[in-house]
Amino acid sequence: MAVKSNLEAVRDTIDQLMAEDASIMLMGEDVEEGGVFRATEGLLKKYGRNRIMDTPLAESSIVGVSIGASLNGLRPIAEIQFADFILPAVNQIISEAAKFRYRSAGDWSCPLVIRAPYGGGIHGGLYHSQSLEQLFTHQPGLKVVAPCTPYDMKGLLRAAVRDPDPVIYFEHKRTYRLIRGEVPDEPYEIPIGKAEVRREGGDLTVFSYGLAMHMCLEAAETLASEDGVQATVVDLRTLSPLDRETILETAKATGKILIVHEDNLTGGLGGEIAALIAEHAFDYLDGPIMRLGGPDVPAVPFNHVLEAFYMPSPAKIAAAMRTLAAY
């Protein structure tokens, strides 16, 4: 079985999908040359400009044209070069793509995938490091996924492209070359809306996704070896719809809950998960539900010291886990 990076998994999956289905097309800024992260490198030569299409620097038009293409029988994959720049396209995504099935009483659907590299830890500064997933998890009609391993990158991207409705596909850019793993050559899909238990332990449960999920696993191993505390670590993988069954089942099993994400703490996904557990698993709790998120500042700083202050880390997560375990 081939070992690939997250970035290689994304590129090879798009290639495999386009070879299988002539209705799939790709558009975005500089995608013909491979894009800023080289996620589409080599695809122009194989599929030509009718299917690999550079666009102007106008995210609203990238998504708007993709919506029109999807309504006319194509399956576009739209690339937003950095998730930070998705904001001009939010009206197209929320007012149009998310509502097509609802407004047409099911007569129309909008099969569209919007890929958006997100997150900090690369010294990208103000406009190249944001986590904007919560903007879209609030909107019914959209599915939002955030895989963090090469295996999941392939399985969830295939599921997203095959989905009849719009999917926002967040790729944490720090994991592109950092994370490697085995990826089967044959096609497979991972169902959207299904979390994965990455580690099992009886003392507390940690929920996370993206880059922070890998930090949670490292912190859990540290606590196990230094403190004898065993943590269950759940990779949410899909942020909308949430896997309520796995969340409640694993929360009830330990009674102590920590939710970790890179997005700002206030209004982040952690609040929704905490409310879900408090409403449906309150009697099982043995302590307060804790959240660890980014501080409520407007953006991830460029300065490396301030960026480190903003970002989650295995040490910060381990400290929060110790506090929770001792409660």
CB 148 within 8 A of CB 211: yes
Catalytic-labelled residue, pool 128, 172, 214, 261: 128
Give 309: exposed, middle or buried? Use CB within 10 Å, 0-12, 13-18, 19+: middle
Which residues are within 8 A (CB) of 14 and not within 5 positions of it... i.e. 6 or more apart?
26, 39, 40, 43, 77, 157
Spatial distance between the Cα atoms of 24 and 68, rounded to a whole number of angstroms: 14
Residue 128 annotated in active site = yes
Spatial distance between the Cα atoms of 246 and 263, rounded to a whole number of angstroms: 22
CB 301 within 8 A of CB 233: no
What are the E-state strand segments in 57-211? 75-79, 113-118, 143-145, 167-172, 180-183, 196-199, 204-208
Q: What are phi and psi of 6, to 5 degrees?
A: -55, -40
Cα 236–chain centre separation: 9
Render 33-47 in DSSP notation, one character per residue: GT-TT-TTTTHHHHH
Give the active site residues.
128
